[in-house]
Amino acid sequence: MTNQTNHTNHINHINKTAIITGASRGIGAAIAKKLASCGYNLSLCCRNSSDRLKALADELHCAYGIEVLCYTGNVGDFFFAKDMVTNTISHFGHIDVLINNAGISHIGLLSDMTPEEWNNIVAINLTGVFNFTKLVTPYMVADKCGRILQISSVWGNVGASCEVAYSACKGGINAFTKALGKELAPSHIPVNAIACGVIDTDMNRCFDETERAELADEIPAGRFATACEVADMAYSVITAPDYLTGQIITFDGGWI
């Protein structure tokens, strides 16, 4: 089900427009704040936290005067993604940036994982990337411009015990990024991914204080990264020369 909220005074076709999935909190919200501060109009979605997303949209509209469209739904549902992309184009006229950020984790032995759990994590983490990228690409190709960025993980590079499904999804995203980067390079549309290490978000708040300290000690930088640091990195990538494409950029404080 789609729940759209429109925070707008008037349409500003001068501003660039970005779609960000999984934007109600954590890395997605931090990227939304970063792009809003740089004048981007935004089209944001989340799966369950519609009130939180609406509050973020109100905050960004008031602080920066940009327009924000909000949607609630499952990124793994192609028709939800299609509605969101179509409405974003109808409202703003163009999509300059796609940030595929939505994702969930699953910790446990593969032998204990149910087919339903597998299908759910694949739908959100990997199929969602396909859905939104497939839908925005024709518009970007027609305009001969656009930027696509996935928020991935170091586990997509090396794998993690007890996170087989999550690692498989992120590894798939990394391969997807490398292949699509080659496919879209002639159209001047860079496709890249940031492979994040340990970021101080809700996804990593399952650790107690002792576990957090032990994990931080394993990282040469000596700490977790903040979501704002990932957002700064994301902005650097989407504003880099379009010769930077097909890259998986590791952002882990030297950890892996």
Nearest to 126 by CA among 187, 179, 184, 168: 168
Length of the chain: 256
Does residue 243 carry a catalytic annotation? no
CA-CA distances (angstroms) from residue 255 to 170, 223, 224? 17, 10, 10
CA angle, 180 then 183 then 186, to 5°:
130
CA-CA distances (angstroms) from residue 136 to 16, 99, 235? 14, 11, 19
What is the identity of the amino acid at 189? I
User: Which of the residues 40, 64, 71, 166 is marked catalytic?
Assistant: 166
What SS3 string covers 175-235?
HHHHHHHHHHHHHCCCEEEEEECCECCHHHCCCCHHHHHHHHHHCCCCCCECHHHHHHHHH
Q: Structure tokens of 195? A: 């492979």
Nearest to 195 by CA among 223, 243, 222, 233: 233
- Which residue, chain included where needed, has tokens 């076709």? 13
| 37 membership: H or E segment, kind and range | helix 26-37
Report, as residue numbers or ranges, the catalytic residues. 166
